[in-house]
Amino acid sequence: APTTVSVARLQVGLLAEARGLQSELDSLALKADTDTATGRAQVLQESTLALLRHPEYWVYAGAESVQTRLEAAEAKFNQFSLAERSKFTEETLSNFNNQLRQSGSNKILPSLQENGELVGADLNQAPGEYIVVTVIVGTQGKLQLPTVKNSDDLRQALRQIGGVSSEQLLAVEVLWTPQASGDTLTADDMLAGYADLRSI
């Protein structure tokens, strides 16, 4: 029988104060060897655990999972990934299959935006400022995420996706939008780019 593969995407819109989580997960991305099954599982588990530990940041969420044959799974995974990457103005950190690239400009001067304007120290405290984390996995077997209507559904989805074993996990990607530490999304950005996410 053909191998069933599930490709799942879980997205969480967070208050901008959750930036601390990003630096925590960025340091993990720098260390993780995603060429190994164990390394991939570690990235997935640590990312979902970090999100589970901070429900106070959750504002929006959405989950989607599809079952497909192995041959079609990579295309679906890439489709999810590209849909999110197309929203980036600049990608500053990526550890995708361990091909690590880091662009330094925003890391060196987090208080400066590209146009040279200083970002106020209280930027992240402003209401209506968000960041989105996207977790995409490819896994052997059936992974059916719940429809996320509230925080309990999101908790269940995070536990399910984070519980995929290293033996079953084929690929994982964790993406932050926007990636630069001084950037956030407005409520209008959320409506334009993430209309499918539900307020929780």
The tens digit of pLDDT for each residue in 141-183 reads 999 999 999 999 999 999 999 999 999 999 999 888 887 777 8
Do 18 and 56 meet the contact criterion of CB atoms below 8 Å apart?
A: no
Prediction pTM value: 0.79
Please give the DSSP secondary-structure letter assigned to residue 113: -
| Between 78 and 27, residue with greater pLDDT | 78
Residue 191 has pLDDT above 80, yes or no: yes
CA distance 143 to 81: 18
Predicted pLDDT of residue 98: 40
**Residue 47: which pLDDT band, with cuts at 50, 70 and 90?**
very high
